[in-house]
Amino acid sequence: MKWKTYFFDTVDSTNTQARLYDVGSIVVAKKQTSGRGRYGRIWHSDIGNLYISFVVSQFGIQTPLLAFLFGVAVCEVLPEFSLRLKWPNDVLLNGGKLAGILLEQEDNKLIAGIGLNVTTAPHENMLYQTASLNGQITNEEVLKRLMKTVSDNMDLFIEKGFEPIREKWLKYGYGIGTQISVKLPNETLSGIFEELTPQGAISLKLNNGTRRLITVGDVFFDNKEMKEENK
């Protein structure tokens, strides 16, 4: 895909700005005044980090699966940092959150916003541990790599469906086969993360032996190593 890129110094949110543009557009800003995350959370958006939104097509009921595609793309473009993914698409560096991805549907378009801590990690009032690349790479270089890899992965998804993206996700996915907890709106479930299903859900084997398919929720790792890192 040939992207058309719109650069801004400051916007409220690149995802909001992106609503104005057609499929194939990218909105990049140096700073956001109302950057937002999943579940209505704030995304701290000071100058220095990357704030970018891709406008792509929707794919009917398969649209939510693109969440995995963008998470995979971030890991693929930064092979030098050994990144991992926390279901569905939080990008982790040494257990801290390096990048977050917010998918929003608007008319017939999907807007995929990526916030990536290229220079600094916000630390104040954070619900989780954060990480940054400490400026070891430029925003421009990350953007250039992402444009190509997102485009390649979109082609793959259009041609072959979710399976090859799912396989790539499994290479970066953290905690598969281990004990995890998933915080749902009204309850927290614990069990073994058995697999990522072809629909992008977590198959969770509960401690009482039954299985639950998880399609929304926040994952926490129960293993000691990650707990230490996630503190």
Q: Where does this chain bind ligand BTN (CB under 6 A)?
A: 13-15, 32, 35-38, 41, 43, 51-53, 90, 100-102, 113-115
Instruction: Select 23 or 158, whichever has its Cβ closest to ligand BTN.
Output: 23
Instruction: Select 19 or 212, whichever has its Cβ closest to ligand BTN.
Output: 19
Instruction: Select 4 or 41, whichever has its Cβ closest to ligand BTN.
Output: 41
Task: Give min distance, CB of 34 to ligand BTN, in A.
Answer: 7
Instruction: Select 192 or 202, whichever has its Cβ closest to ligand BTN.
Output: 202
Task: Give min distance, CB of 6 to ligand BTN, in A.
Answer: 13
Residue whose C-beta lies closest to ligand BTN: 100
DSSP the chain: ---EEEEEEEES-HHHHHTTS-TTEEEEEEEESS-B-GGG-B----TTSEEEEEEEE--GGGGGGHHHHHHHHHHHH-GGG--EEETTTEEEETTEEEEEEEEEEETTEEEEEEEE-SS----TT-SS-B---TTSS-HHHHHHHHHHHHHHHHHHHHHH-SHHHHHHHHHHBSSTTSEEEEE-SS-EEEEEEEEE-TTS-EEEEETTS-EEEESS-EEEE-SHHHHHHH-
Residue 230: exposed, middle, or buried by beta-carbon count in 10 A (0-12, 13-18, 19+)? middle
Task: Give min distance, CB of 19 to ligand BTN, in A.
Answer: 11
Instruction: Select 32 or 192, whichever has its Cβ closest to ligand BTN.
Output: 32
Instruction: Select 100 or 191, whichever has its Cβ closest to ligand BTN.
Output: 100
